[in-house]
Amino acid sequence: MMDSIQPLIVSRHSKPLRHMVQGVRAFGAATAGLDRVSRKTSPATGDTDWGALLRRVADAQDSAAFAALFAHFGPRVKAYLMKSGADAASAEECAQDVMVTVWRKADQFNPARASAATWIFTIARNRRIDMLRRDKRPDPEDLPWGPEAEPDQEDALALQQETEQLTIALRDLPEAQRSMIERAYFNDLSHSEIADATGLPLGTIKSRIRLALERLRHSLN
């Protein structure tokens, strides 16, 4: 009976984020020479372990830990909502909602599955869909989550490092590629709507996004 329960694919020493660009063919010639020197040190997101602060909120209702999370993520969530088309007042209100949810769901945060920024992004995205009355977006079925499945320290560390690399790689993308990714995530636009908004051909947008994903994958190697 247990055979039907599939383990989380993120296993020890795996590189979970590399799954991102499966299906994208190698653009060896197109990307050769474009690779920049990767910056392996200097964490992109500062030295704070946001996941540890979330754990303190979950375990001890630690207001000081929450205040630090709020100071960092509140303004980021608000900016995300404003870029998605909300006015400043409703973005403020919804960012506050998101931070209330962060407190209430802190015990569901699992550092082996997502970084704090990623987890908060998913909460903000769901709130944005409600706020802008966008199409409903059901989540996938939860993975079976038994008591033995405590977050694995090594998985959590590997994920944290990959998230750092990804954040740096995104900053290092050529502006033409980065802006396409940002529009796709923040401006609530489909590829063809991006085409309308920018006047660029659809094929150009698709290939820029594909190239961007290919570079992000390179950064994780």
Partner 1 sequence: MTMITHHLSDQLLMAYSAGTLPEAFNLVVATHISLCDECRARMASFDAVGGALLEDAHAEMATDSLANVMARIKAADPVVKPNATARDTLLPTPLVDAIGGGLDKVQWRAVGGGVRQAILKTSDKATARLLHIPGGAAVPDHGHQGLELTLVLQGAFRDDDGHFARGDIEIASEEVEHTPIAEPGMDCICLAATDAPLKFRAILPRLAQPFLRI
DSSP 8-state code for residue 9: S
Residue 43 to residue 163: CA distance in whole angstroms? 10
| CB nearer partner 1, residue 13 or residue 33 | 13
Of 16 and 156, which CB lies nearer to partner 1 in the complex structure?
A: 16
- The minimum distance between CB 138 and partner 1, in angstroms, equals 4
Output the smallest distance, CB 33 to partner 1, in A.
24
Cα–Cα distance measured from residue 11 to residue 120, given in angstroms and rounded to the nearest whole number: 23
Please report the DSSP string for 166-188 in residue order: HHHHHHHS-HHHHHHHHHHHHS-
CB 17 within 8 A of CB 220: yes
Residue with token string 């290939």: 207
- Rounded to a whole number of angstroms, the minimum distance from the CB of residue 45 to partner 1 is 5
Q: Pick between residue 1 and residue 33 the one whose CB is nearest to partner 1.
A: 1
Question: Measured from the CB atom, is 6 or 41 closer to partner 1?
Answer: 6
| CB of residue 13 to partner 1, shortest distance in Å | 14
Residue 117 contacts residue 63 (beta carbons within 8 Å): no
